[in-house]
Amino acid sequence: MSKFLFVVPPFFGHLSPTLSIGAGLIARGHEVTWLGIVPVDEAHLPEGGVFMVPEAALKGHRAEIERILKRQDDGPSLSQPEVMKLALEETYVPIARMMMPGLEQFMDEWQPDVVVNDCITFAGALAAYKKGIPCATTTPVPPDVMGDTAGNAPKIFEWLQKLIRDLQHSVGIEEEGVFIHSRKLNIVFTSAAFAGFGNPEPHMQFVGPVQGRPNHSPFDWERLSGATTPKIFVSLGTLLVDIRKEFFTRLIEAFRDEPVTIIAATDPAVLEEWPDNFIVQGFVPQAALMPHMDAVICHGGFNTVNDTFMNGLPMLITPIAYDHFHTASLIEKAGCGLKIRYRRMRAADMRNAVWRLLKEPRFREAAAAVRETFMAAGGSARAIELLENFVMEATPKLMDA
């Protein structure tokens, strides 16, 4: 049996799929530890899993971490090029620098067989490279968000290369090359067809959505089963706290007098009053709810996107920032949904879009086609198989043990 160390960022959308495959690895007898900079609610962890925060090494960085997390709330009000700077310069790179000492120390103590770094959590791959430990990467969003910058935007490409080079130098890697991701195995939680990869490199393994992480959130199923109108699930994910009031105010304006039932995954306290056709709750058992829905409205957070198309539902995507625009363009291309940019969201347009999704079969048909590609990708079972094969090949000694 092997020891897997998942290195994760303080963003639940990136942690979530690793919890699912981690749960599967634990069930198969492996030891799994997650290492991050912010503790995670025990309820999210699969039984037997350990979440490690190197507190001593992070002690002097607490204020900066708080500032970085708070800064994410500015995302929705920033332009796309500003968000690129926010993500790389102000978030991923500083987090990687802060993580390195505690991570390296923990790796020396725990001696993992494999490091699995999330795609924006560079420290995992960098520490693994320094210590000669095999490393795989997990990518929860369609890759290639920035497109071909080398060919289309050489100055942006150079900026990115320099950031990575400087980061690598600062953590003691002098060799030329890019070591923030695994070149051996990169597990991507969507399908190649949906992400627009006709002929992916062999290390890019598209396994589709993964399931299996615990979600014990209660829900008022009785109230849901009493609803007779089409059911629309609405989520803004776990980030983007500041804009909830504005977003849901507009949602109410659009749907309070419509014959639909809105299931909104948000803390009810963001607004004083909700219409009768709205069921509102903070954390919801999203995967269990989806099969009961008729359509989904979300900003493009990838776990909700995956849950939606795993259930063959059409989506109204309202991209706000980050990679949402890229995801929106993939959805439009696949024909499984409609896009209204958050900045240009009008109640009448939202209403029209949702009724089109409900009434025109082509959206549901296209969503079902995406579902097929997701199912064929293999999901959690495939991800676990890839990781087990990877550890076998990377550490042959284990085969004799």
Partner 1 sequence: MDTVTINQPAAAAIFDLLKQFITEVIGEEFAEEMDIRPSSSFTKDLEMDSIEIVAFSEKVKAHFGAHIDFTGWLSGMDLDQLINLNLNDIIHYIQQCR
* Residues making contact with partner 1 (CB under 8 A): 79-82, 84-85, 152-156, 159, 319, 325, 329, 341, 343-344, 346
Among candidates 155, 160, 93, 89, which has minimal Cα distance to 120?
93
Among candidates 209, 210, 202, 208, which has minimal Cα distance to 390?
202
- Shortest distance in whole angstroms from residue 111 CB to partner 1: 41
Alpha-carbon span 99 to 9, nearest angstrom: 10
- Shortest distance in whole angstroms from residue 152 CB to partner 1: 5
- Shortest distance in whole angstroms from residue 348 CB to partner 1: 10
Q: Tokens 């994410």 appear where?
A: 72
Among candidates 214, 225, 267, which has minimal Cα distance to 242?
267
* Residue nearer to partner 1 on the CB measure, 85 or 165: 85
- Shortest distance in whole angstroms from residue 81 CB to partner 1: 4
- Shortest distance in whole angstroms from residue 357 CB to partner 1: 20
Using the CB atoms, write b or e for 97-126: b if 16+ within 10 Å: bbbbbbbbebbeeeebbbbbbbbbbbbbbb
* Residue nearer to partner 1 on the CB measure, 341 or 359: 341
- Shortest distance in whole angstroms from residue 153 CB to partner 1: 5
* Residue nearer to partner 1 on the CB measure, 87 or 99: 87
The backbone region for 7, taken as left when phi is positive above 0, alpha when psi lies in -120 to 50, beta otherwise, is beta
**Contact at 8 Å (CB) between 252 and 272?**
no
* Residue nearer to partner 1 on the CB measure, 146 or 173: 146
* Residue nearer to partner 1 on the CB measure, 156 or 224: 156
- Shortest distance in whole angstroms from residue 343 CB to partner 1: 5
* Residue nearer to partner 1 on the CB measure, 158 or 365: 158
- Shortest distance in whole angstroms from residue 243 CB to partner 1: 14
* Residue nearer to partner 1 on the CB measure, 86 or 293: 86
- What is the identity of the amino acid at 147? G
Q: How far, in Å, are 215, 235, 307 from residue 219 at the CA level?
A: 11, 15, 17
* Residue nearer to partner 1 on the CB measure, 278 or 325: 325
Q: How far, in Å, are 116, 208, 265, 395 from residue 132 at the CA level?
A: 13, 29, 43, 11
Q: How far, in Å, are 20, 52, 105 from residue 99 at the CA level?
A: 23, 12, 10
Helices (H), 181-301: 192-195, 221-226, 244-255, 286-289
| Token couple for 3 | 């020891």
